Amino acid sequence: MVQQTACPIEGSILKKTVELIHATRFEHWESIRTEGLKGDPLISFTAVDHKSVKGCIAGVVAADLLIYVDVQKALQDGIQFSPTSQPQTIVCEASALDVKYFAKVVNIRSGVILWTSKGDEEIHTLTSTELRKMKLYSDARVRYTLNKAVSIAYACGSSLKASDFGFVDQLHYLGYECMDDFFGRYAADLQTMKNARAIDIGTGMGGPARYMQEQYGMQVTAIEYLHELVKICQIMNSLLQIPEERFNIIKGDFSHMDVDYMQLEGQFQCMTAQLTFLHIADKEDLFKRCSQVLVDGGYFMIEDYFLADDTELCPEDQQRLKDDVSVPTGVPLTEKRLRALLEDNGLVVEEFEDMTDRWSVFIWERCEIFMADRPKLEAEHGVEYIQELGHFYTAVASVFHKLQCDDRTQRYPNVCQAVKWSPALDGKAQNLRGCRIMGRKKSALTNGAANGLPKGVPNGVR
């Protein structure tokens, strides 16, 4: 039993305590949010050093929720904290501690911040259910991928390589080529560094992330929101016998992840994200997290949709992006706004390549090949797979409609029929664009190179 000592802790002493944390179960969160944190009769907290949060936290068995206290605010309002007979355990003498005294609340299992001093962290977030309405992530697609992966692994046997899965495990455009451009050209210095660490956000089934590990020797941490895609990624990693220390996948929502609690802050020499950020509306908070995980001078590569400056999307394209591609608002940010938000968070853009023309060709060729093979694919994988993926491929071809070719109807007859193409649509402006952004995190140093470090020397790897 925890015994309270006679004297409350002085505010000056508590100021030296970096964190006061209460551990509880997630099932209690709704009542705590409305009624406050209640004691029986006292509320117990663990006093820990900021960097020791993932160590031993006093509380209930199998706790999956951490409540951080805004100590100074509580002290200012006269709430008293007292030491106990157990080291590091501090109790609060209030019968209930209101949520206004919470600094943040973190789900231990996912690392997601459920609450901050600003209130609930629920805005601008697609739920996993909403995201899986996107046909690319459907159950039929999951079954297809697993069946193909096992078949490929069986056929290749001991010679199986990550790239052998290439046509089934990439939910990106030109995924391997993008990795070659980034690691083979722009950030080639990373290959010479021992144990360079890369974080891949929105890794999906893990194709490009496995490729960067196999081809360029990166030690990969992959973040994925959808449980089904995490399982596929883990199965493929197992088939390839990739050690977890070389490729670690974390299931969680990076846009709400507590990177400090998850021990991701300042841990990576590079960050990649391919067609992930288009699903996240709050780019400012997102880019702040991206900056936090990188070392000073660390490299980043982002592929995303953007809107041409001083233009707008027609209502039909906005609806397609919202309904079929899970772009929350239906309208991507402009190039000017993307650059500004990245720079505001210390991410210096050195290359901003417009990928629209190349992506459009890829998208139309992908759709044409799929449509031409429909009878065979339907016989092998069922009607549901054909209908769902066909709907998605057609929707994306509709919004990336501009092609530099005069023989569209001859080259892509099935796609033209599916999207109801007519020559009159050639005059429609391609205001939706695609980009590949490369750059580096600004160093804390203010002089010297723009990033504070010469190219090729990210901090943290010497």
Using DSSP's 3-state secondary structure scheme, residue 200 falls into strand
pLDDT of amino acid 134:
53
Burial of 77 (0-12, 13-18, 19+ CB in 10 A): exposed
- Using alpha carbons only, how large is the chain's radius of gyration in Å? 25
pTM: 0.73
pLDDT of amino acid 312:
92
Confidence of residue 65 (pLDDT cuts 50, 70, 90): confident
pLDDT of amino acid 458:
56
Bridge partners (DSSP) of residue 181 are none
Using DSSP's 3-state secondary structure scheme, residue 116 falls into strand
DSSP 6-29: SSPPPHHHHTT--EEEEEE-GGGH
What's the whole-number mean pLDDT along residues 85-91?
A: 81
Residue percentage of the chain with pLDDT more than 90: 37
Architecture per CATH, 129-355+433-441: 3-Layer(aba) Sandwich (3.40)
| Spatial CA neighbour of 403 closest among 369, 435, 363, 436 | 363
- CA atoms of 377 and 375, how far apart (whole Å): 6
pLDDT in tens, 390-421: 888 999 999 999 888 878 889 999 999 998 98
List Cα–Cα distances, 342 to 338, 348, 407, in angstroms. 6, 7, 40
pLDDT of amino acid 121:
43
Q: Does domain 11-122 have CATH number 3.20.170.30?
A: yes
Domain ranges of the chain: 11-122, 129-355+433-441, 359-432
